[in-house]
Structure 1
Amino acid sequence: MDYVNLGRSGLKVSPLCLGTMNFGPFTSEEDSFAIMDRALELGVNFFDSANVYGRQVGRGATETIVGNWFAQGGERREKTVLATKLYGGMTDWPNDSLLSALNIRKACDASLKRLRTDYIDIYQAHHIDRSTPFDEFWEAMDTLRQQGKIIYVGSSNFAGWHLAKAQESARRRNSTGLVSEQSHYNLLTRAVELEVLPAALDYGIGVIPWSPLAGGLLGGVLRKLDKGRSASEMMLNELDKHRDKIEAYEKFCDELGQDPAHVALAWLLAQPAVTAPIIGPRTMEQFEGSLPALEIKLDDAALARLNEIFPGHKSAPEDYAW
């Protein structure tokens, strides 16, 4: 495994991040354990979770599964770079959500308990909280760092100007600031190229793309439908919107002799500021099926063809002004 630095930090992570969102709702604890064990065996050391993950089996269930896995020992915790998130409400009580100093403290302690660890490597804001000033946010995060409960701070779903505001606020406090940003980014969804990626590059923030396969649209959906695989109504509706692009994409992947899912991941890994796309497997087959993407190096001609099929953005303001 060729490890990479997370943004400007000295932290070394695998170029694919194991997303755990399906652990609990769709993947049993036993199968989740097997996937995480296999990940470490293959060198994937970067795991991502969130306090709200668990869906129908209950918020917090996913972190609990990860914590139970850590509790087996065998240096599982020591070998894992653990990222988790806070923001969403764990209850209906008014201070059990968002990014107030109170909720940051409570949410961190609750995640540590579920995860059965005494520290979180990367503690991430799951969304921007427009009601909490960054001075309050950084005071709370810096306190957690001083207590040894977290090491790095990251964000998710921030706009470019949010990243700038967060970093300048941290700079005034002589704080490290954000080292990562999780963004919705794939060949079909490229709005972050306007301002988020340029801001991330300028501030040395590592971008961790979520939904790299656009909910399955970039994973060979037409091939699977031709083989009789079923698809949800939502998937079929999205396919109808983008059918021409998906047809051209899968045809090009055939010309490359590569699986569409692997090409989608390899394309992300070739983008500036991207550290590690998040893969969120439900099964061992899905997990292991993502790893060949690390062996694909797309040349300039292939990258240009993908940009023809899925037009992207120049940086702002060049995208909409001279």
Structure 2
Amino acid sequence: MDVLLKEILEIKSVSGDESKISSFLLDFILKRRSSWKVSPEIYSGEEFHDNILLVFGKPKTAAFAHMDTVGFTSRYENQLVPVGGPEIGDGVWLQGSDQVGPIRCMAYEKDGNIFHDFPRGIQRGTLLSFEQRIISDNEMLQAAYLDNRLGMYALLKACEDLTDGIIVFSTYEEHGGGAMPFLVRFIYENWGIKNGLVADVTWITDGIHFNKGPVVSLRDSFIPRKKFLERILETADASGVPYQMEVEAHGGSDGREIQLSPYPIDWCFIGIAEENPHTPYEKASLADLADMIKLYRYLMQNL
């Protein structure tokens, strides 16, 4: 497995606490951008909170990948409050730290609430996330937080030979959004961007399978504009990269924030399918990941 992917899988970033992964990405980008085909302008810092925008050449298309993950916030009387929609199962370990020290505990449900079994009280507001255990061979990858480390990784790889486009690493996607409105405004008002691609993770279902390529979502709980979808599919066909088409009634992504914005930006979710979402055992195909990178490289240059 690629060292970069392993490194970003190990960094905790529950929604609202993305500063560590943002700092890692920024450091990586500053070190690597001189070796990329085009060295991008970088927009980051306190005025962008923990979000990062990379602007290459004369962009027409922006691609978005969120940096945050699901997790838990400690409350009172050993209670935990979910951040996003984490799934709790038997034998699931959580990790974090407060001012007293490191924390490793299990979560369990009782009477409709979630509790931890740590032997002492955890300071209020402490964020906990799934303990990471990465299992990989030449075909499959299993770990916590493939959602959305795989989207981030795919866009970082696409940066290597991107000449024109905008790459956005966003925050807060797992817990109601919040960063996208000002990011969308910034890229539209400064570069007139009208094409948006969302690099995220979807699910294996009865119609979506491993090793069949990345997934182009024709709809989830929101519906992209059909005229734009037709352009996406035509361009994807021209790329020669295998892909799957998804139709779902539920779920969402940063595409929701683009559609609800006051700006005329088309969007489409294009991501990788996984099993066991929002658990420590998310599982995806490495071949699908490789094809997702190829497809993004082609779409960013040819839409």
The TM-score with structure 2 as length reference comes to 0.28
Query: Which structure has the highest strand share of the two?
Result: 2
Structure of higher RCO (CA pairs closer than 8 Å, 6+ residues apart): 2
Which protein is richer in helix relative to its size? 1
